[in-house]
């Protein structure tokens, strides 16, 4: 189910959960593509270090991230998509995860 937000909103938290422990990350990245398919918003999400409930389901500590939108970032209505990347460069080779399922954010006026 997609999160819902309105154009111009700030402070709205968007959470994404995974099925694995991300506490050993060396980088976390989240890239939102706006509805025009061209403009993007690249941000660094924060790792949830405690257990949280997302969409009615409990996510264990270190298995989810969040980003709080800042003023002016949500500027176009429509369906946004997001790509989340987890990187851990301590093993060899690097451990990199990118979401396969679409992450969507519906922005309304």
Under a CB-based contact definition with an 8 Å cutoff, are residues 32 and 41 in contact? yes
Q: What is the pLDDT of residues 53-105, one digit of tens each?
A: 988 899 999 999 999 999 999 999 999 999 999 999 887 778 888 887 889 99
Q: Specify whether the CB–CB gap between 24 and 39 falls below 8 A.
A: no
Burial pattern 59-83, b for ≥16 Cβ within 10 A else e, equals beebbbbbbebeeebbeebeebbbe
Which tens digit of pLDDT belongs to each residue from 43-57?
999 999 999 998 889
Determine contact, residues 86/38, Cβ cutoff 8 Å. Answer: no
Select from 2.60.40, 1.10.3470, 1.10.10, 2.40.50 the CATH code of 3-108. 2.60.40
pTM: 0.88
Q: Report whether 32 contacts 80 (CB < 8 A).
A: yes
């Amino acid at each position: 189910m997609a999160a819902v937000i309105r154009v111009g909103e700030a402070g709205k938290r968007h959470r994404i959960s995974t099925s694995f422990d991300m506490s050993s990350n060396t980088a976390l990245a989240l890239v939102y593509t706006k509805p025009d398919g061209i403009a993007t918003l690249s941000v660094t999400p924060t790792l949830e270090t405690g257990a949280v409930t997302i969409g009615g389901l409990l996510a264990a500590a270190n298995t989810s991230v969040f980003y709080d939108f800042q003023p002016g970032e949500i500027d176009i209505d429509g369906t946004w998509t997001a790509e989340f990347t987890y990187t851990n460069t301590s093993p060899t080779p690097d451990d990199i995860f990118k979401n396969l399922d679409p992450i969507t954010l519906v922005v309304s006026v």
